[in-house]
Amino acid sequence: MSENKFFSYKGFPLVRKGNEIYYGNMGDNEVVMLQIITKKKVGDIEVAEKIKLYRMLTDESIPVMERITKTAEKTGLYQALDIANAWLKRSAG
């Protein structure tokens, strides 16, 4: 059985490409794009520090800038993911 598996957080898939993380199901009306703005070194590891969040519609017939329905900026990946999770739960519910 060949099946694509994604990392997930609180029931929603996470897909990273460079400094962007897409959170949510592309088949839903909205997903959240997390853009890593700054990173810091913790020991030998680079950790995301400042993150810009964009809640956006998945409808590709709408121009990209018009798809953004909400934005925020958070410090730390977990804080950003918790906000993103709340947005997705609200939009699905």
Structure confidence at residue 2 (pLDDT): 42
Answer yes or no: is 2 within a domain. Answer: no
Sheet holding 12-17, edge to edge: 7-9, 12-17, 20-23, 30-42, 45-57, 68-75
Confidence grade of residue 51 (pLDDT, cut at 50, 70, 90): very high
Window from 10-14, 39-43, 88-92 with minimum mean pLDDT: 88-92
Answer yes or no: is 64 within a domain. Answer: yes
The larger pLDDT score, comparing residue 69 to residue 5, is at 69
The larger pLDDT score, comparing residue 5 to residue 28, is at 28
Which DSSP string corresponds to 18-76?
Answer: TTEEEES-TTSSEEEEEEEEEEEEETTEEEEEEEEEEEEE--TTS-HHHHEEEEEEEES
Range of the domain at 84: 8-92
Q: How far apart are alpha carbons 89 and 84 in whole angstroms? A: 9
Answer yes or no: is 27 within a domain. Answer: yes
Is the C-alpha dihedral spanning 87, 88, 91, 93 positive or negative?
A: negative
> For the residues 67-84, what does the mean pLDDT come to?
96
Structure confidence at residue 93 (pLDDT): 62
Structure confidence at residue 3 (pLDDT): 55
Answer yes or no: is 61 within a domain. Answer: yes
Instruction: State the total domains in the chain.
Output: 1
Q: How far apart are alpha carbons 45 and 62 in whole angstroms? A: 38
